[in-house]
Amino acid sequence: MTQDSRLLLDVRDLTVRFPTSDGVVQAVSNVSFTLSRGETLGVVGESGSGKSVSNLAIMGLLNRNRANIAGEVEFNGRDLLTLPPNELRHIRGKDIAMVFQDPFACLHPMYRVGDQIAEAVLAHSNEGKDHARKRAVEMLGHVGIPNAKARARDYPHQYSGGMRQRAMIAMALVHNPSILIADEPTTALDVTVQAQILELIEEVKREFDIGVILVTHDLGVVAETANSVMVMYAGRVMEYGPAAQIFAQPQHPYAWGLLDSMPTIERRLSSLVPIEGSPPSLLNPPTGCPFHPRCVYQFAPCATERPPLVAPVPEAHPDACHLPWEKKVELGAKRAVAAIVGEDAA
């Protein structure tokens, strides 16, 4: 998929466990993916899928005393998971930056926005406060905040939701990071603002030639912005491949279920087809395939053998499902996104 010189991040078998008094929470299990410059990786999943925890682990934002993290996260020739906290801190906010979901709560309410961005500048440079402030104003203007100089002196509560998220993005970009991780950046925003923010992230990606990991539960967002897609469920990867392929030929029953059950704006359906049941407990995940209790197509091996993440045929993308390839083709074709505009969903 990528040339080596453009490869930014190589995650292999990332596993996160939280020991609690009730047992071990298997938050993330064997997640592997890569990210290159100019690529937007869309990570899709519902609550409990592990999509946020994986990224927190990559950034080193999980408390190492309370989480067991295994696997390899290779960035710039080094494994981030083995770095001492001090070195990781130099990468965080500088080479890899993260933007979170709720801009209302993500900025400190008692400090001015410009000062908070300047603080990000000063965290990784020695250039002095004036330089930091100028850079903050410059970035605010860059992300489309009008009157940046004046607005930098405002407090977060004087900004609207969209502006706060822009400020967060500005803050993330001050050191020209190679990777931007956006964890549900638009979920808490109105839909017209959402469109603006997604456009901004896309522009930023092109302009700075960075890699973006976009975490969301919204398949529509992924379809419009992602180059590659990773579908997660119960802490594991269910399907992973180029966006165009995943939407033209989805291969995993969970992906089919998502596409079927998502309320669509295209047409009113006579009835929606939900995925019955609820997401599984991460304390005692199901044996075999984690999705099998809710899967309409489950058969003999699903309850006992965990399906490996592997491409069923060389020209397809990897998925974690036991179903034979022909079945996947048949059922996937029915849900291909192009088909939604035509007839009723299966």
Partner 1 sequence: MSTPNGAPTEPAVADAEFGSADNLVELEHLTKRFQVRQGVFARGKSEVHAVEDVSLTVRRGETLGIVGESGCGKSTTARLILRLLDPTSGAIRFEGQDISRLSQRQLRPLRREMQMIFQDPYSSLNPRKTVGQIVGSPFVIHGERRAKTRVQELLETVGLSPEHYNRYPHEFSGGQRQRIGVARALALSPKLIICDEPVSALDVSIQAQVLNLLRNLQRDFNLTYVFISHDLSVIRQIADRIAVMYLGHVVELGESESIYESPKHPYTAALLSAVPRATTGHRERIMLTGDVPSPIAPPPACIFHTRCPRFHQGHCDVDAPPLRELEPGHAAACHYPLEKWPMTDDEIRQAEGALRADKPSLEGATQEA
Partner 2 sequence: MFFYILRRLFWMLIVVACVIGITFIVFYLLPAGDPALRFAGKNPTPAELELIRHRLGLDQAWYVQFGKFIKTFFTGDQYGWPGLGYTFAGGSSVLDLIAARAPRTIFLIIGASTLWLSFGVAIGIISAVKRRTVVDRGAMGFALFGISAPVFWLGLMLLYIFWRQLGWTGGTGYVSPTESITGFFSHMILPWTALAMLYAAFYARMTRNNLLETLGEDYIRTARAKGLTERQVIFKHGLRASLTPIVTMFGLDIALLVGGAVITESVFNIQGLGYLAINSALTQDLPTVVGVVLVAAVAVAVANLVVDILYAFIDPRVRYA
Beta strands in the chain (DSSP E): 7-20, 23-36, 40-44, 68-75, 78-79, 96-99, 179-183, 211-216, 228-233, 236-242
Stretch that binds partner 2, among 24-32, 100-108, 303-311, 333-341 (CB under 8 A): 100-108
Query: Nearest Cα to 320, choosing from 235, 261, 244?
Result: 235
Interface with partner 1 by CB under 8 A: which residues? 46-47, 160-163, 190-196, 198-199, 217-225, 243-244, 247-248, 257-269, 271-276, 278-279, 337-338, 340-341
Report helix angle 113-123 to 129-142, nearest 10: 120
For partner 2, the binding residue among 92, 252, 317, 322 (CB under 8 A) is 92
Q: How far is the CB of 147 from partner 1 (least distance, A)?
A: 12
For residues 14, 15, 16, 20, the Cα torsion angle rounded to the nearest 10 degrees is 180
For partner 2, the binding residue among 57, 107, 170, 231 (CB under 8 A) is 107
Q: How far is the CB of 217 from partner 2 (least distance, A)?
A: 18
SS3 percent helix, strand, coil of the chain, rounded to 5, is 40, 20, 40
- Tell me: does residue 316 bind partner 2 (CB under 8 A): no
Q: How far is the CB of 87 from partner 1 (least distance, A)?
A: 37
Beta partners for 23? 20
In this complex, which beta carbon is closest to partner 2, that of residue 108 or of residue 206? 108
Query: Nearest Cα to 296, choosing from 247, 264, 331?
Result: 331
Instruction: Confirm if 169 and 139 have CB atoms less than 8 A apart.
Output: no
- CA 308 from chain centre, in angstroms, equals 22
Q: How far is the CB of 139 from partner 1 (least distance, A)?
A: 19
- Tell me: does residue 91 bind partner 2 (CB under 8 A): yes
Out of partner 1, partner 2, none, what residue 141 binds, judged by CB under 5 to 8 A for its kind, is none
For partner 2, the binding residue among 75, 100, 247, 256 (CB under 8 A) is 100
- Tell me: does residue 150 bind partner 2 (CB under 8 A): no
